[in-house]
Structure 1
């Protein structure tokens, strides 16, 4: 049986290209992350309201 490729293991043990460690997020990255989180929050709230859970207190 041949072993399946495991790209994470290959990177750890050096048989593949090294992972990019010099990446630094910029303003566009932070903006994209904030918008994604906001969209996820709005979607979850819409689903909660549609399911009729608005009377349940959440801690």
Structure 2
């Protein structure tokens, strides 16, 4: 007897309910989380750029 692993993509395609894309509606908390994630990613990339010595001296 084999145990079947969960296959979420298959469940969405062949499941009984509508796909998540049709039922999901982002709210203010989602937008806030996305903005914070993007800001953290930008700060981390800038921090890495400055510490690696690849500073662009030609920028004004």
Q: Is the TM-score greater than 0.5? A: yes
Distance 1:40 1:30 in 2: 15
Q: How do 1:1-59 residues align onto structure 2 when only pairs under 5 Å count?
A: 5=5, 6-14=7-15, 18-20=18-20, 21-55=22-56
TM-score by length of 1: 0.67
Q: TM-score, normalised by structure 2?
A: 0.66
1:18 is displaced (CA, Å) by 4.7
**Which has the larger share of helix?**
2
Count, aligned residues: 55
Q: Secondary structure of 1:52's partner?
A: coil
Shift of the 7–22 alpha-carbon distance from structure 1 to 2, 3 Å rule, reads closer
Segments of 5+ residues of structure 1 without an aligned counterpart are: none
Give the alignment's Cα RMSD to 1 decimal.
Answer: 2.6
The structural deviation recorded for 1:24 is 0.6
